[in-house]
Amino acid sequence: MSVGRAGGLWMSMLLLTLLLSACSSKQKSGRADIDAIPDIEHRSKAVKDSIYDLRAKIKKRGPAAVKQDLPDFIAMLEGYQKLKLGEYQETYKQILEKLKALESTLGSASKDAAGKSIDEIAALADKLPGKANDNPTVE
């Protein structure tokens, strides 16, 4: 019976060691391929995806289609300004300024004017690292 207890104790210690070593891993996502991509690229991809989505909505349905989405996106980018964005700090700042200008004209802007404005913003986003779908489909 003491052999059974010793085996159980040994198994418990092994399990505890495995759990502790797995939890102390420096991986954030659990996937080394994702963790190898710098944070700036993850952020940039998310920003690009959002901008390209806004552009597709404006081109398809007009400026009113993004009126609800834009304030949250602008707030997110304002939060990014507090992060270390390296050489892309100025690009993010320009994108933010142009998005605020777009937001202020959404009520009166024509579809063409809003389209031109979002195209300029998308051109700035193209300078950011990371890959994104630059032609998303919207309903």
Confidence of residue 24 (pLDDT cuts 50, 70, 90): very low
Q: Is residue 51 part of a domain?
A: yes
Could you tell me the two tokens for 64? 């009113």
Q: Is residue 20 part of a domain?
A: no
Q: Is residue 12 part of a domain?
A: no
pTM, rounded to two decimals: 0.74
- Under 8 Å between Cβ of 88 and 44: yes
The contacts of residue 120 (CB under 8 Å, 6+ apart) are 98
pLDDT of residue 36: 77
What is the mean predicted confidence (pLDDT) over 79-90?
88
Q: Is residue 60 part of a domain?
A: yes
Q: Is residue 90 part of a domain?
A: yes
Could you tell me the two tokens for 114? 């809003």
User: Rounded to an integer, what distance in angstroms lies between the CA atom of residue 55 and that of residue 65?
Assistant: 10
Q: Is residue 58 part of a domain?
A: yes
Q: Is residue 92 part of a domain?
A: yes
Instruction: Give the chain's domain count.
Output: 1
Q: Is residue 80 part of a domain?
A: yes
- Under 8 Å between Cβ of 100 and 126: no
Structural domain for 46, as ranges: 37-125
Exposed/middle/buried for residue 13 (C-beta within 10 Å: 0-12, 13-18, 19+): exposed
User: Rounded to an integer, what distance in angstroms lies between the CA atom of residue 59 and that of residue 65?
Assistant: 9
Confidence of residue 28 (pLDDT cuts 50, 70, 90): low
